[in-house]
Amino acid sequence: MIIVQDLVKSYGSRVLFEKVSVQFSPNNRYGLTGPNGAGKSTFLKILQGDEESSGGIITVPRRVGILRQDQFKYDQVRIIDTVLMGNKFLWSAMEERDQLCEEENITDEMGMRLAELEMTIAEENGYVAENEAIKLLQGIGIPKDKHFNLMSSLPTDLKFRVLLAQALFGDPDALFLDEPTNYLDLESINWLENRLKQYNGTLIVISHDRHFLNSVCTHIADIDYDTVITYPGNYDDMVLAKTSSRERIENENREKARKIEQLQDFVNKFGAGTRSTQAQSKKKEIERIGTTELKKSNIQRPYIKFDIKRPSGKEVLTIKEISKSYTQEDGSVIQAIKNFSTIIRRGEKVGIIGNNGLGKTTLLRILIGELAPDSGSVLSGHEVSKGYFPQDYKQGIQPGLNAFEWLERFAKDENSEILRSYLGRMLFSGEEALKKTESLSGGESARLIMARLMLEQNNLLILDEPTNHLDLEAVSALSEAIKSFVGTVLFVTHDRDLVSTAANRIIAFRPNNIIDDYAGPYDEYLFSLKGKNQSNNPAGEDGKESKNNKNKGKNKKENSVYDNL
């Protein structure tokens, strides 16, 4: 049980939480939701003990698993040891035991201490700990031959996965996860969902992945109206309940307001006459009725709408037999893309999916001209103009400017009023537009880039993981904007709701340089994969086969990152 009593947290004059009391029960999985800036991460840090509250009492279980965000903290630690550190009681006992065992002369007192440590290790399941850590690392996508290497040997995305395994290790009584699906591909997200569904402790998770919250959560703890309100069910259930409750109160208030107006008319008309006694009774009735105070919600939804200055030709991009490989430090060569050909046509919304490291970002960088292919070509069609959202959201946002000044650099004939309207649509209203670019959060940086894309009005948008730092309201707004856009969009994403609702074509990167090019929405693509697996026919149920899949042999089921999604 996690108990929060009268929590207060403020930063100067800004109050995030005022006398908040809430409980989180065992066997429940809570999604912690709220817009960017509502205090989700701060609330979780207070529960974790990483940040002081301004007042109140916090009670948490003895053993807590925490997803840390510092991917470089453990660079000089072995990968498997980093996972074992997730159980601090076990790790402390193992370290002290190893130190004592290195002593040349062990005293009776030291022997007694060793016995105590062995008992602690046994109680914490220390004798099977390494096997559990190995299973976690394999499940999260870290190959077994890397488990005893230093953390510094891993790229940032794999370091994050190890920290996730660290949080899950040892079956803690409570589990605190802040954006656990960042840096995870679809296969790993699916593995994590299944793992969390089997977890019996108290889970509190922050995520901007709507599909993930709907799949995992039994409850939602929503930060709004200056407090934390818990709702049973998943995220969609919470939205429905919250909206229905607010609509009910608003309808009741309208009815009460009409009644009060009628009563007040009577009082005004007969207050001083022969019916003054009745008027006094009406006054008391007005006081009794009252309206229910309805606090303003802190949910803010950006308004994203992409326009175009001029349409492109029918064929937007012609990709001919492009290949790209990289040479690693050890001299080995990684083939990212091999002989890929396709044509992107006007109006298509292409969702590009697949596991990390298979070449998705490489493809986008080639398409925008940032990277040259080793062979092959990319031809842009008539009147094609490109807008790009980079995966590194800080890329291209120059420091030393405020948000307005940065956006102004991309203006043509637009005046200050028009620029501020774009910023306002992306929630940079008033003084928010004067925020320094170097102090912007991930979500603010992403929204600023969106403002630039709206301002430039390109007819081809190329978006690389645009939802990584957007809150759920912004992701929903982006999905609607892509669907209604009259131009063409190619977007890389691990957000299943976005690809399901916005894409009308799928390009799926799979192992062994296989790229599926499916002319249809995501759900139909998944169905086609099931047909392939059932019939063991690489061409699929309709007998068709893309050029990039020819002569690949039988597609083995384990090569598909989409199985069981």
Is 197 a domain residue? yes
Residue 96 C-alpha from the chain's centroid = 39
What is the pTM assigned to this prediction?
0.70
**Can you give the pLDDT at residue 239?**
83
Using alpha carbons, select from 9, 39, 3, 45 the residue that is nearest to residue 24: 3
Is 51 a domain residue? yes
Q: Are residues 112 and 225 in the same domain?
A: no
- Structural domains counted in the chain: 4
Q: Are residues 457 and 546 in the same domain?
A: yes
Please state, in angstroms and rounded to a whole number, the distance separating the CA atoms of residues 137 and 188.
11
Q: Are residues 162 and 227 in the same domain?
A: no
| Contact between residue 130 and residue 80 where contact means Cβ atoms under 8 Å apart | yes
**Can you give the pLDDT at residue 251?**
67
Is 442 a domain residue? no
| Contact between residue 443 and residue 435 where contact means Cβ atoms under 8 Å apart | no
Please state, in angstroms and rounded to a whole number, the distance separating the CA atoms of residues 112 and 136.
34
**Can you give the pLDDT at residue 248?**
67
**Can you give the pLDDT at residue 274?**
61
Residue ending a domain, among 289, 306, 327, is 289
Q: Are residues 243 and 227 in the same domain?
A: no
Residue ending a domain, among 140, 169, 198, is 169
The set of residues, in sequence order, having a beta carbon less than 8 Å from that of 388 and lying 6+ positions away, is 364, 368, 461, 462, 463, 464
Residue ending a domain, among 186, 212, 233, is 233
Q: Are residues 190 and 92 in the same domain?
A: no
What are all long-range contacts of 240-245, with beta carbons under 8 Å and residues at least 24 apart? none
Tokens encoding 180: 């656990």
**Can you give the pLDDT at residue 155?**
81
| Contact between residue 340 and residue 486 where contact means Cβ atoms under 8 Å apart | no
**Can you give the pLDDT at residue 139?**
87
Q: Are residues 243 and 215 in the same domain?
A: no
Is 405 a domain residue? no
Q: Which strands make up the sheet holding 375-380, listed edge to edge?
A: 333-345, 315-327, 375-380
Q: Are residues 502 and 459 in the same domain?
A: yes
The boundaries of the domain holding residue 39 are 1-62+173-233
Is 35 a domain residue? yes
Please state, in angstroms and rounded to a whole number, the distance separating the CA atoms of residues 81 and 555.
36
At 51-63, the pLDDT tens digits run 899 899 999 998 9
Is 259 a domain residue? yes
C-alpha neighbours within 13 Å on the C-beta side of residue 265: 5
**Can you give the pLDDT at residue 542?**
38
Q: Are residues 177 and 93 in the same domain?
A: no
Q: What's the full length of the chain, in residues?
A: 565
Is 376 a domain residue? yes
Is 177 a domain residue? yes
**Can you give the pLDDT at residue 298?**
59
Q: Spell out, as residue ranges, where the chain has pLDDT lower than 70.
A: 225, 245-253, 271-275, 290-299, 531-565
Please state, in angstroms and rounded to a whole number, the distance separating the CA atoms of residues 510 and 354.
6
Q: Are residues 108 and 86 in the same domain?
A: yes
Please state, in angstroms and rounded to a whole number, the distance separating the CA atoms of residues 509 and 359.
7
**C-alpha gyration radius of the chain:** 28
Q: Are residues 328 and 365 in the same domain?
A: yes
Q: Are residues 161 and 177 in the same domain?
A: no
Tokens encoding 101: 């065992």
Q: Are residues 346 and 200 in the same domain?
A: no
CATH of residue 517 = 3.40.50.300
